[in-house]
Structure 1
Amino acid sequence: MVVRLCSRGGLLPLLLFSPQKPKIYVPTAGRKAAYGTVTSAKVSVNGVHLHYQQTGEGEHAVLLLPGMLDPDPFPMGYSGSGETDFAPQLKSLNKNLFTVVAWDPRGYGHSRPPDRDFPVDFFERDAKDAIDLMKTLKFKKISLLGWSDGGITALFAAAKYPSYINKMVIWGANAYVTEEDERIYQGIRDVSKWSEKARKPLEALYGYDYLAKTCEKWVDGIGQFKHLPDGNICRHLLPLVQCPTLIVHGEKDPLVPRFHADFIHEQVKGSRLHLMPEGKHNLHLRFANEFNKLAEDFLQ
């Protein structure tokens, strides 16, 4: 099952403020029919209220890190939202083996306010938020599943908090920005030029103005790395990654060329590269069963 943003309001439980637990928001009910029992809540981390979802009872904690956007004409999930980006993973990853947490980074999804911004250290900031969220939730050690911008965030987290990371799976990520990348980003800058099918569900969640401004800010934010030496985002951190790492790449990904996956594979010692010939940017949604099995086998 794939959850679309247009269905999100009907699937997400109403969040209420709990006076018994200051700064924590708790759901009125779980969603057993869709995913089994899923907790939706907010918790205060680093001065913001971060929204997350949690499911499963396994000892192995896994954090799902969403990206920024998926401009595919078939919008199976909007990055920035843990629920919609990872519906098949919340539903189907083994709940006896894993406790799965999907989060909305600050400024995305239900982790608002604040509005999303993109200072030069936004990936590092997201990595700290993600790690501190999981520590707040009392997980002693975690594995990471990071998609797109979430894959970059995962690389930051693995490099900077090595003792806290068990294993990592990333896909659709890049460690630097090239002129080719910048051309791709500029092509999605103006949301008014997106297909209505891709744009309308996002407008329903964010409103047109916030969606348009956030997309423009993201293009500028990711583009600023091109002006750094070697277009560096996190290439200098890759040799510091110590955890077992699986890099998955869809060979038909229109947003992230193959050379990015090859570079990360070369720089992260002992990493594995798995190619999906028909995979695109959202391969974990289009080929959910194959991806989930791949991730489960690797994490075990």
Structure 2
Amino acid sequence: MPKIEVHGVSLLYTTVGNGNHAILCMPGFLGTAEDTFGEIFKTVDQQRFRLVAWDPPGYGKSRPPNREIKMGYLKRDAELAAGLMNKLGHRRYSVLGVSQGGESGLILASAFPSNVISLATLAVAAKYDENMLRVARFYTMVDHYPEKKLNELLKVYDRDYLKKLTTDLFCYVQSAGYVNLQHVIGPIKCPLLITHGQKDSVCQAYQARELMTIFPLAKLHIFPEGNHDLHNTHADEFTGAVFQFFNSTFDGSE
């Protein structure tokens, strides 16, 4: 996969499909282009869509530099992602953001309204609650991960860096407290689809309904059997719903 320099940061990205409708795909915590969107790459209509997925700075192969998880880092991701799409020649595009990638997607859509056709999010938190703090604390206990999950992560990150990332996330969630997204993100002018798994144990499903109070014009799609990783476990169902939405927002002249 190629790399490109944006605002002094070397970013790895991949492009899948050759359609007219470009979709920027933004992973969440520890996520990379391939492990987050690999199942979607297999199921999406590649004649209709052109997916651009990245390893966020400090994740995967977008290193160095290492990831700095601190206040404002998701805004920085949004700015870099917008710069990436601009460098690749995509003036108008839609955005698919998963978890914290969805938070960055919301920031991007608010900050660059003339560039974003539509936005779909999955498993985005309206606020960091006690459940998410417990989850973040568990993430720091690297040695207690299921063996399969740990081995997958250690293919991408060494143990010390993984420990640093998870500890930094825990501190970030603590410091962010109960700050509502409404207080850090401006209005969203583009069509917005909020998706969530009813069985999400990381970011509970009520968070999607909280988002709907912030963005009342959005559409809401709850997957009854979906958990936090439903984009992988229910890829066909998820891709069908999300890309039908994207298709409905695109007139072909962008």
C-alpha distance after superposition, 1:93-146 (max 9, x if no partner): 111111101101100001000011112100100100111100010101110111
Spell out the pairing of 1:65-214 with structure 2 (5 A cutoff).
Answer: 65-68=26-29, 79-214=30-165
2:242 matches 1:295: yes
Name the count of aligned residue pairs: 247
TM-score by length of 1: 0.79
**By how many angstroms is 1:178 displaced?**
2.1
**By how many angstroms is 1:91 displaced?**
2.1
Match of 2:9 among 33, 48, 55: 48
Match of 2:169 in 1: 218
2:219 matches 1:268: no
Unaligned runs of 5+ in 1: 1-39, 69-78
**By how many angstroms is 1:243 displaced?**
0.9
Q: Is the 8 A contact 1:49 1:112 kept in 2?
A: yes
Q: Which moved more, 1:168-177 or 1:131-140?
A: 168-177
Task: Tell me how large the CA RMSD over aligned residues is.
Answer: 1.3
Spell out the pairing of 1:253-264 with structure 2 (5 A cutoff).
Answer: 253-264=200-211
TM-score by length of 2: 0.93
Q: Which moved more, 1:161-170 or 1:234-243?
A: 234-243
- 2-structure distance, mates of 1:294, 1:180: 28
Match of 2:250 in 1: none
Match of 1:174, SS state, is coil
Q: Percent identity?
A: 33
Q: Is the 8 A contact 1:51 1:111 kept in 2?
A: yes
C-alpha distance after superposition, 1:69-99 (max 9, x if no partner): xxxxxxxxxx420111110112221111111
2:10 matches 1:59: no
2:179 matches 1:232: yes
Match of 2:165, SS state, is helix
Unaligned runs of 5+ in 2: 248-254
Q: Is the 8 A contact 1:65 1:103 kept in 2?
A: yes
Match of 1:247 in 2: 194
Larger RCO (CA within 8 A; separation ≥ 6): 2
Match of 1:187, SS state, is helix
The AA in structure 2 aligned to 1:294 is A
- 1-structure distance, mates of 2:216, 2:168: 34
Q: Is the 8 A contact 1:241 1:269 kept in 2?
A: no
